[in-house]
């Protein structure tokens, strides 16, 4: 089966879902290129290997090289969803200590933030989580907040929002009104239930059509007031 990929962002982390075979030749070359492409944009990567049904010695060697390559650019690469067969291969070859492996994507994402807190690092911490389904609005709001000096992580969907919410424990959540009202899925219901006990700023449904300067000023005023109130 030909190796295929699906990628998405969860906060500042790129998740690459692999399906098929990781073997010497075109498949390994394609995976190496995908990792290199991601590293040019972000140093934090999760390889989801849940869809990989076979890996040869060359493919395993490539995964080792991907970990080393990521470390060399001061990044972190984790793997998740590995099969019992691959897990056994890692143990037999004693390569299991090279990989930071997790059972699922959510645990791998949480692992980034747990590591950051334990080591006192600031690279993967956030004071504000932004969850908005419009990529343009999300880009605008996150850039606005970062320019104001805030640490921000973003996502456009509620499943990743739930994972990031529980992993990062942000001081404030900025969320689109449509997503705030969602209850139709388990992730949506759990996400919004958690928000009930947190500091939240809800973006109106028509936020995208507001005057950019005025809406930005108002949002920053609300963010400052909310965070200042937490210090009292």
Of 62, 105, 116, 58, residue with least CA distance to 82: 105
State how far the Cα of 54 lies from the Cα of 74, in Å rounded to an integer.
Answer: 29
- pLDDT higher than 60, residue 85: yes
pTM confidence score: 0.76
Of 38, 31, 37, residue with least CA distance to 10: 38
Please say which residue of 119, 154, 186 terminates a domain: 119
CATH of the domain at 175: 3.40.50.2300
* Predicted confidence (pLDDT) per residue in 181-207, tens digit: 999 999 999 999 999 999 999 999 999
- Give the model's confidence band at 232: pLDDT under 50 very low, under 70 low, under 90 confident, else very high: low
Is 32 strand, coil or helix? helix
Contact 34, 69 (CB under 8 A): no
Q: Are residues 18 and 115 in the same domain?
A: yes
* Predicted confidence (pLDDT) per residue in 66-80, tens digit: 999 999 999 999 999
Beta bridge partners of 47: 16, 79
Question: Where in the sequence is the domain holding 46, given as residue range(s)?
Answer: 4-119
CB-CB neighbours of 125 under 10 Å: 15
| Overall domain count for the chain | 2
Write down the pLDDT at residue 126.
61
* Predicted confidence (pLDDT) per residue in 44-70, tens digit: 999 999 999 888 888 888 999 999 999
């Amino acid at each position: 089966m030909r190796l295929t990929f699906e990628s998405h962002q969860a906060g500042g982390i790129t998740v690459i879902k692999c399906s098929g075979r990781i073997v010497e030749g075109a498949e390994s070359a394609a995976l190496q290129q995908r990792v290199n492409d991601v590293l040019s944009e972000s140093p934090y990567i999760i390889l989801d290997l849940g869809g990989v049904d076979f890996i040869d010695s060359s493919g395993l060697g490539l995964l080792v090289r991907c970990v080393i390559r990521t470390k060399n650019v001061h990044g972190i690469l984790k793997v998740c969803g590995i099969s019992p067969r691959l897990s056994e291969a890692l143990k037999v070859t004693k390569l299991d200590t090279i990989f930071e492996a997790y059972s699922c994507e959510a645990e791998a994402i949480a692992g980034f933030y747990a590591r950051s807190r334990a080591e006192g690092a600031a690279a993967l911490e956030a004071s504000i989580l932004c969850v908005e389904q419009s990529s343009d609005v999300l880009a605008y709001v996150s850039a606005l907040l970062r320019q104001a000096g805030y640490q921000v992580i973003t996502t456009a969907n509620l499943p990743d929002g739930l994972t990031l919410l529980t992993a990062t424990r942000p001081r404030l959540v900025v969320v689109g009104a449509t997503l705030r009202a969602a209850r139709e899925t388990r992730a949506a219901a759990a996400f919004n239930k958690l928000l009930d006990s947190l500091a939240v700023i809800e973006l109106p449904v028509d936020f995208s059509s507001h005057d950019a300067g005025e809406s930005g000023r108002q949002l920053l005023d609300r963010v400052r007031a909310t965070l200042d109130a937490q210090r009292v």
